[in-house]
Structure 1
Amino acid sequence: PALYEMMTKADTVGLFQVESRAQMATLPRMKPRTFYDLAVEVALIRPGPIQGHSVHPYLKRRNGEESVRYPHPLAEPVLRKTLGVPIFQEQLMELARLCAGFDAGQVDRLRQAMTHKRSEQAMERLRDEVYSGMTANGVTGPAADEIWEKLQGFGQFGFPESHSVSFAYIVYMSAWLRYHYPAEYLCGLLNAQPMGFYSPNSLVQDAIHHGVIILGPDINRSLHDCTIEPHPADPSDVATYLGMSWRRGQGPVDDPPRQSVAMRTGLRYVDHLGAAEITRIEAARQIDGPFTAPEDLAHRTGLGVEALESLSASGALEPIGLGRREGFWAAGALAEVSPNRLPLAPGVEPPTLPGLGDEERAALERWATGISRTHPVSFVRERLSAIGCLTCMEAVESKGDGNRVRVGGIVTHRQRPQTARGIYFFNLEDETGLLNVVVFPDLWAQQKDVARRNPGLVIDGVLEYRDGVTNLVARGFSAFPVTGVTSRDFR
C-alpha cells in the first residue's frame, strides 16, 4: 500500500515509465492499488489510447463519475476488464475478430497495420473491410463508428498487454527500491545516465527533498561511478517519506533499521575528466595511496589544466588542501608537473583570495559537474518573493482552482506532444519541487522568444486543480537570470 500511495501522489521522479509529466498528471486520478492497475497506467498514456479517446472515459469510469458501457454487446467480453474502453493492442485485435468477424489472417494484417511505421495509411486501407464485417455481424451506426475510432486510434501506437505487464513489473520494483533504498536508487540512476526524463540535477534535487544526503566529489574517495558510503547522521533524520521514516523500522513497511548512508558523487560527473584520466587517478591511489597535496596529485597523474580546474571547482581537491578559487589560480602551474618531473610546482601557492559565497560555490558545482546540492532558485527566492511569486509547492498545495498566481522557477522540460494540438507543457522547478505549466498556442506565438530561450522564468497564470492534479495555465512570461541551467526539450 505504501508504494501505491507514493505513486498516487505522483511522487515518481526517476521511476521508469511513470515519471513523465503526462503520467504524473494521470496517477492521482488513476489511484493505482494493484499491480494490474500499473499495467493499465503504463498502457494508458500512449498515442493509441489518447487518439482513440480512451483515457478520460476510463478514468471517469474508474472513479465512478461515468457508468460503464460497451459500444456493442459483442464487445463486452473483450472490454469488461478495462471498463468498456480498449487500452491494450490485443483488445483491438479481439474486437475485430468478434465484431467484424475477422479471421486469423485478417487479424494479423490488422496487427501489422497497428505496428507499421505507416500505420495510419495501412489502417485506412482496412476501413471498408472492418465496416463490411461489422455490418455482417449486426454492428452498425454509432456502435460501428465508435469501434472503428478505437481501431484507428491504435494506428498511432499502443502497447500490447504483455508489454505493459512487463513494464509494470519494472515500475513496481523501481518504486520499491526508491521507497526503501532512496540513496542507493539515486546512485544507480546517476550511474546509468544518460537515460530517463530528468537531468541528473533534478534527480539529485528530488532525492534531497526525500532526505538523501549528497556528498560532492572527493579526489581520494570518489570512484568513477557514484557510490554509497556510511554517514554519521542520525538515521531518524534522513530518508524520510510522508513525515515517516523511509526505511528505519518506523514507516508503513517494517524494515529493520540501517546505518545512515550518503551518496558520493563519482568522478564521471566532473567535466573534462574522461575515462583515461579517472583510470590514472584510481591507479595512482591503489599503487601509492591517497593523494596528500595538490603537487602530489599533479605529479602522479599528469592531469591537464581543464581537468584540474574542474576538480577544483567541484570541491574535489579541498580534502588535499586546495580550495575552489585557489585551484583555478594554481591549475596552470600544477599542469606543468608530470610523472617525468620532480614534484615541484613553482607558483602553485596562490595569494590570499576572498572566500566563496554559497551562491558562487553552487554555481561552480553546476559548472563543473552539472549537479548542485543547493537549488539555484533558492538564491533568488527573496527577490522572487518580493514580486509576489509563490513557490512551486505553495502553488500545488493551495489547490486553488481558478486562482491567479505568479510562480518563478527554472524550466526543466518543454514538450509539445503531437496529440496536444499545439499546446506546450513545461515543468517548472524550484527548491521546493515541480509544477506543471500549460501554454496555449496563442501565448506561445506571442512570447515564444522569452519562453523558449530563458531557463529562469516568472510565470503569471491561473491554477487548475482537479482530482489531485494542479496545473498552472500560463498567461504571461518574464525572464530572470540563472546560470548553468538548461532544459530538456521534447517534441
Structure 2
Amino acid sequence: MMQLAIDCAGFTPTEADKLRQAMGAKRSHERVAELRERLLAGMSERGIPQDVAEDVYAKIDAFSGCGFPESHAASFALLVYASAWLKYHYPAAFTCALLANQPMGFYSPLTLIQDARRHGVTVLPADINHSRARPTLEPAPPGSGGEGQPAIRLGLAAVRGLGDEQAEAIAAGHPYTDLEDFARRTDPAEPALEALATAGAFASLGVTRRQALWSAGLLARTGAGMLPGTAPALAAPDLAPMTAVEETIADLWATGTSATAHPVQHARAHLERCGALTADAFKTGAAPGTLVAVGGLVTHRQRPPTAGGVLSLSLEDETGLVNVICQPHIWERQRRAALQSAGLLVHGTAERRDGAVNLVATRLVPLTLAPGARSRDFR
C-alpha cells in the first residue's frame, strides 16, 4: 500500500508511512479519509482518470479495515515458522541466542534451559575458564549425546551481582591457573566471589563449591597489588561435596537457572507418593474427564480481561509444561496458594479440546521446592 501511494499518487516515503499509520489506527477509516484529497490529487497529476482514482481510493479504504491485522498475522506466521524451523534443526544455537538476549520473551532462562535439555542439548554451567559474559556454543563433551548438536555454555553475566562489565573482564583474562591467580588479576568483591563459588564457576580449577566458598573471604583480600604466592593459605579442609539438591538450590540462588537439574525432580518421590503424574504422562496418557494430580513449578500466571475471571497457570516439571485452568470460585477460595506459591500440587480434571490438553483445577496445594525460581505473573 505504501508503494502504491508512492507510484500512483506521488507520495514521499514520509507521506506513505503516514498512510501506513492511518491504516493501522483504531479509527482507520477516518484517518485514511484525511489523506483522500492528497491521494486523488496525486493520481490526477499522473494522468489517472477520476473514476479509476476513486476506485483505487475505495480499495485503499477497504483494505485499511483488514490489511493491518492481516499483515500482522502474516508477519507472526513467518516468525513462528522460522523460529520453529530453527528450534527443530538447531536447538542449541536457537536456545543460546535466546539466553544471550535476556530479558526477552515469554519464558524465563530456567524454562528455556530445561526445554533444551529435554530435547537432547547439553547445557554446561558458567565457569571462569570457559565462559564468556553471555552464553556461547562449544563442542559437546564426549558421550553427552545431543545428536551432533553443540553444547550451550552459560555466561558469567548471569551470576548474581557480577554484571556485564565485570563478566567481560573475567572472560578476557582466562585462563586462570588457581584461585589466587584469579583473585589477583580480577580483584572481585567478596559477594561476587561467593556467588561465583556458589554457582560452581571454579570447577575447572579442581575446586568444589564448598572449598571455593571457604576461601572466598581470603580471596577478596588478594588484590592486584599483592605479590604472587604471598596470599594467605587458601587450602580448604576436607569438606563434603554438595548434594544434588543443594547444588540445584545453589544454582538457582546464584544464577536463577540450573544446567543439570530441575527443582521438581528432587520432589518426584514425594509427588509419586501423592499420586501425581509427570507433565509428560499427563499430556500423553490422561483421558478426558479423568481425575488427576500434577505437581510443578509455577512459571506463569495469567488472567486476561476477556477470560471472565479465569486464572491460567503454567506448571513445569522435569518432563515439560502443563496448562492449568482455575475457575474464579476455585482460585478465589484458594487465593494464597494460587497467587503466592512458587510450586503447586494441582488436583483436577483432564480436558482435551482441539488438540490442546488442560488440567481444570479443583484443588491447589502449595508445594515446597528449591528457592530462587520465580514465576512471571500477569505479563
Both proteins in one fold, TM over 0.5: yes
Counting only pairs closer than 5 Å after superposition, residues 70-219 of structure 1 correspond to structure 2 as: 112-114=25-27, 160-219=69-128
User: Residues of 2 paired with 1:312 and 1:301: CA distance?
Assistant: 15
Asked if the contact 2:126/2:155 (under 8 Å) is kept, the reply is: yes
Pair 1:354-2:240 in alignment: yes
Pick closer, same or farther for the CA change 1:176–1:384 going to 2, 3 Å.
Answer: same
Pair 1:485-2:370 in alignment: no
Pick closer, same or farther for the CA change 1:414–1:158 going to 2, 3 Å.
Answer: farther
Pick closer, same or farther for the CA change 1:113–1:177 going to 2, 3 Å.
Answer: closer
Pick closer, same or farther for the CA change 1:202–1:110 going to 2, 3 Å.
Answer: closer
Paired residue for 1:381? 268
Unaligned runs of 5+ in 2: 1-20, 32-64
Asked if the contact 1:378/1:431 (under 8 Å) is kept, the reply is: yes
Pair 1:310-2:218 in alignment: no
Matched letter for residue 163 of structure 1:
H
Pick closer, same or farther for the CA change 1:428–1:114 going to 2, 3 Å.
Answer: farther
Asked if the contact 1:216/1:265 (under 8 Å) is kept, the reply is: yes
User: Residues of 1 paired with 2:67 and 2:305: CA distance?
Assistant: 15
Pick closer, same or farther for the CA change 1:300–1:474 going to 2, 3 Å.
Answer: same
Asked if the contact 1:415/1:426 (under 8 Å) is kept, the reply is: yes
Pick closer, same or farther for the CA change 1:110–1:163 going to 2, 3 Å.
Answer: closer
Paired residue for 2:358? 471
Give the TM-score normalised by the residue count of structure 1. 0.62
Paired residue for 2:180? 295
Asked if the contact 1:425/1:437 (under 8 Å) is kept, the reply is: yes
Greater CA drift, 363-372 or 226-235: 226-235
Partner deviation per Cα, 1:290-336 (whole Å, 9 max, x = no partner): 10000100001101111111111111101113211111111111000
Asked if the contact 1:399/1:465 (under 8 Å) is kept, the reply is: no
Pair 1:238-2:146 in alignment: yes
Matched letter for residue 365 of structure 1:
D
Matched pairs, number: 324
Aligned-pair distance for 1:110?
A: 8.9
User: Residues of 1 paired with 2:334 and 2:233: CA distance?
Assistant: 51
Pick closer, same or farther for the CA change 1:216–1:390 going to 2, 3 Å.
Answer: same
Pair 1:460-2:372 in alignment: no
Paired residue for 1:364? 250
Matched letter for residue 130 of structure 2:
R
User: Residues of 2 paired with 1:469 and 1:201: CA distance?
Assistant: 24
Matched letter for residue 270 of structure 2:
R
Q: Give structure 1 regions of 4+ aligned residues with deviation exceeding 4 angstroms.
A: 108-111
Asked if the contact 2:23/2:68 (under 8 Å) is kept, the reply is: no
User: Residues of 2 paired with 1:305 and 1:404: CA distance?
Assistant: 51
Pick closer, same or farther for the CA change 1:115–1:431 going to 2, 3 Å.
Answer: farther
Partner deviation per Cα, 1:390-446 (whole Å, 9 max, x = no partner): 111111112411111111111100000011011000001101101110001111111
Asked if the contact 2:24/2:68 (under 8 Å) is kept, the reply is: no
Asked if the contact 1:426/1:436 (under 8 Å) is kept, the reply is: yes
Asked if the contact 2:126/2:154 (under 8 Å) is kept, the reply is: yes
Pair 1:276-2:184 in alignment: no
Matched letter for residue 220 of structure 1:
N
CA RMSD, 1 decimal: 2.4
Paired residue for 1:338? 223
Matched letter for residue 164 of structure 2:
A
Pair 1:222-2:131 in alignment: yes
Asked if the contact 2:187/2:223 (under 8 Å) is kept, the reply is: yes
Asked if the contact 1:233/1:260 (under 8 Å) is kept, the reply is: no
Aligned-pair distance for 1:187?
A: 0.5
Aligned-pair distance for 1:283?
A: 3.2
Pick closer, same or farther for the CA change 1:461–1:368 going to 2, 3 Å.
Answer: same
Pick closer, same or farther for the CA change 1:327–1:401 going to 2, 3 Å.
Answer: same
Aligned-pair distance for 1:210?
A: 0.5
Paired residue for 1:408? 295
Unaligned runs of 5+ in 1: 1-107, 123-154, 240-258
User: Residues of 2 paired with 1:462 and 1:229: CA distance?
Assistant: 44
Aligned-pair distance for 1:219?
A: 0.7
Asked if the contact 1:219/1:316 (under 8 Å) is kept, the reply is: yes
Pair 1:436-2:349 in alignment: no
User: Residues of 2 paired with 1:112 and 1:333: CA distance?
Assistant: 62
Paired residue for 2:17? none
Asked if the contact 1:294/1:321 (under 8 Å) is kept, the reply is: no
Asked if the contact 1:399/1:470 (under 8 Å) is kept, the reply is: no
User: Residues of 2 paired with 1:221 and 1:215: CA distance?
Assistant: 10
Partner deviation per Cα, 1:209-251 (whole Å, 9 max, x = no partner): 100010111111111111111124469x315xxxxxxxxxxxx
Greater CA drift, 312-321 or 196-205: 312-321
Name the SS of the counterpart of 2:313 in structure 1. Answer: strand
Asked if the contact 2:22/2:28 (under 8 Å) is kept, the reply is: no
Pick closer, same or farther for the CA change 1:350–1:480 going to 2, 3 Å.
Answer: same
Pick closer, same or farther for the CA change 1:115–1:186 going to 2, 3 Å.
Answer: farther
User: Residues of 2 paired with 1:328 and 1:374: CA distance?
Assistant: 21
User: Residues of 2 paired with 1:311 and 1:114: CA distance?
Assistant: 54
